[in-house]
Amino acid sequence: MKIKVSLVAAVAGLALVVAIPSGAGDKHKKKQSDRAMIERMEAIPCGAKERGVTGLGSIWASVGVQHVNSDEKLCPQYLIRTDDMEYHIRPKDGKHPVILPVGQEAIFKIKKDTLQLKVPEGDRKTRDYQVVSMKPVEPEADRVAEKAGDHSPH
């Protein structure tokens, strides 16, 4: 009888030892990166490029030189979509933005105010992007109901 009790205690102790490390390991495990699809790219106005001598202001104004070439600067803005969110993002490196492949899957993490994005099938570099906007994705059933309601005759 003593052997059965000690055997049951040993099995229970072993089960406890196995259960504790697996639960404790979850706290130290890194969070998995989210996956998203790069849906589209748009060229969005994000400022003006000015070339000329306007920076010397008062010196050149007295001479009458005020030549400025002003072109609207366009920046790439991407729509990336996860299962439950849509993100509109712009590259933080405005001078040398890298063009992302539309239709490819990307891996991203959000850290503080930056979305860090990597395209595994591309050059595999992680780049920082600014989140311009984000919104929850509507479930497919809601979108179908909306489209049916929009096209119904009145």
- In this prediction, residue 118 carries a pLDDT of 94
- In this prediction, residue 16 carries a pLDDT of 43
CB–CB of 130/92 below 8 Å? yes
CB–CB of 100/75 below 8 Å? no
C-alpha 3: how far from chain center: 60
Q: Which residue has the tokens 């780049």?
A: 127
107 beta partners: 35, 118
The answer to whether the pTM exceeds 0.85 is: no
> Model confidence over 63-98: pLDDT tens digits?
555 555 567 788 999 999 999 999 999 999 888 889
In CATH, what number does 34-46+75-138 get?
Answer: 2.40.50
Q: Which residue has the tokens 């003593």?
A: 2
- In this prediction, residue 18 carries a pLDDT of 45
Q: Which residues neighbour 83 within 8 Å (Cβ) at sequence distance 6 or greater?
A: 137
d(CA 58, CA 71): 23
Residues of the chain with pLDDT under 70: 1-31, 48-70, 140-154
d(CA 154, CA 146): 15
Strands 34-52 and 105-111: antiparallel
- Reference 119, options 131, 134, 104; nearest CA is 104
Q: Which residues neighbour 41 within 8 Å (Cβ) at sequence distance 6 or greater?
A: 76, 77, 78, 79, 99, 100, 102
CB–CB of 95/79 below 8 Å? no
- In this prediction, residue 58 carries a pLDDT of 54
Say which DSSP state 112 is in. T
